[in-house]
Structure 1
Amino acid sequence: MKTMLQSTLPPAGALTPVGQALRVGLGILLLTASAKVQVPFWPVPITLQVAAVMMIAAAFGTRLGAATVIGYMVAGAMGLPVFAGTPGKGIGLAYMMGGTGGYLLGFVVASFIVGWVADNLRKMFLVPAMLAGLAVIYVLGLGWLAQFVPADKVLAYGFSPFIVGDLVKITLAAILAIGLPTGLMQKIRGSQTDA
């Protein structure tokens, strides 16, 4: 079954190579914008990247979703200021090899997981897939971060400040990808007709 976002987009197979490239390019722009929208927080700002990765994977599916996230990584590796904090905190491979490198790799793996579920399973499995994707992001991110901070600070710097916000972002991504629950949609429609 298609997600709501998938049903509003033409299938990837129906697109010409130029159409597919445009979709990937727009996805990279969305990821870049999601990295630049920052809420000041300590130790690092909170961005919308997790929500963007999950929505892109759910909407584009495995092939184009993963291609978009990989294209984003390639753009960053080439020195384009697509990541959070760039160019001020560095660019290119030097930035990617810093403390956030594991999280960036996690984005790629999460896009495969969520995209595959969006392509192959029922919509009800999308939320567990997003949670599994988030778990992979944290496992890879925290494992990589442990090279840069003392072991007793890894969770305090790389997990605790972000987990609640990331769960909210996944909820929003799931609502946008799957669609509003039928009961809520009926209430919204009912209130619109009453006005």
Structure 2
Amino acid sequence: MTKEKSKLRMMIQCGIFAAITAVLAQVEVPLPLVPISGQTLAVGLTATILGSRYGALAMVCYAALGAVGLPVFAGLKGGAQVLVGPTGGYIFGFIATAFVTGLILERTKYNLTMAMIANTAGMIITLLFGTIQLKFVLDLTWGQALAGGVYPFIAVGLIKAFLASWIGITVRSRLIQAKLLSGGKKVAA
């Protein structure tokens, strides 16, 4: 496959994963300050399957789609006001999360253990970005920001990190076998 075709394929996959993130964002459990949604599961899947650069690019596409007003964020919300609002930090965190999660896997091995470590690190990054913006936008104390923006998400976040790791490694392996994804580093069992 030519370099141009390979790049085009990866750009299409970025678009697909931005769309998957938009769909999973609509799976949500409302909480007082920040809902639990499927977005972070999608971010972990994206990073585990596409890696650092393309995973982060897919999240940039997702954020850009929402920024221009498409209803891709949780609760079918869209617009720049979401990005500068209380939950916008989580969305910005998705970009860093995808990059770091993918980078950890690229520098180690694509196996379940390393994917779980990478996705857990990613969860921490998302929560960090989200909590900082939540604190400042709503003028909360750090204790209030942690109580509303971190503590309710730890157990669910670890479950989503495991699911993103397990599903992501499996799908990545299948895509590489089907020659639909460039392997870079092979998946280790």
**What TM-score bracket applies, with the shorter chain setting the length?**
0.7 to 0.9
**Which residue in 2 is equivalent to 1:31?**
21
**Larger RCO (CA within 8 A; separation ≥ 6):** 1
TM-score, normalised via structure 1 length: 0.77
Map residues 103-122 of structure 1 onto 2, 5 A cutoff: 103-122=90-109
Residues 163 and 14 of structure 1: is their aligned pair in 2 closer, same or farther, counting only changes over 3 Å?
Answer: farther
Deviations 1:76-129 (A, max 9, x none): 111111101233xxx321110000121111111010011112323112322221
Which of 94, 109, 121 is the equivalent residue of 1:132? 121
Deviations 1:130-158 (A, max 9, x none): 11111111111111111114204212211
Determine the C-alpha separation between the residues in 2 that align with 1:38 and 1:95.
16
Map residues 13-162 of structure 1 onto 2, 5 A cutoff: 15-87=5-77, 91-122=78-109, 123=111, 124-147=113-136, 148-151=138-141, 152-162=143-153
Residues 44 and 101 of structure 1: is their aligned pair in 2 closer, same or farther, counting only changes over 3 Å?
Answer: closer
**Unpaired runs of at least 5, structure 2:** 171-189
Instruction: Assess if the C-alpha contact under 8 Å between 2:97 and 2:126 holds in 1.
Output: yes
Shift of 1:15: 4.6
**Which residue in 2 is equivalent to 1:192?**
none
Determine the C-alpha separation between the residues in 1 that align with 2:140 and 2:98.
29
**Which residue in 2 is equivalent to 1:174?**
165
* Residue 163 of structure 1 pairs with residue 154 of structure 2: yes
Q: Which amino acid aligns with 2:86?
A: G
CA RMSD of aligned residues (A): 2.0
Determine the C-alpha separation between the residues in 2 that align with 1:15 and 1:164.
41
TM-score, normalised via structure 2 length: 0.79
Determine the C-alpha separation between the residues in 2 that align with 1:95 and 1:30.
19
Residues 96 and 46 of structure 1: is their aligned pair in 2 closer, same or farther, counting only changes over 3 Å?
Answer: same
Determine the C-alpha separation between the residues in 2 that align with 1:132 and 1:95.
25
Residues 141 and 43 of structure 1: is their aligned pair in 2 closer, same or farther, counting only changes over 3 Å?
Answer: closer
Larger Cα Rg: Structure 1 or Structure 2? 1
User: Residue 82 of structure 1: SS of its match in structure 2?
Assistant: coil
User: Residue 162 of structure 1: SS of its match in structure 2?
Assistant: helix
- Number of aligned positions between the proteins: 165
Give the fraction of aligned pairs with identical amino acids, expressed as a percent. 32
Determine the C-alpha separation between the residues in 1 that align with 2:153 and 2:107.
30
Residues 115 and 146 of structure 1: is their aligned pair in 2 closer, same or farther, counting only changes over 3 Å?
Answer: same
**Unpaired runs of at least 5, structure 1:** 1-10, 180-195
User: Residue 79 of structure 1: SS of its match in structure 2?
Assistant: coil
Instruction: Assess if the C-alpha contact under 8 Å between 2:26 and 2:73 holds in 1.
Output: yes
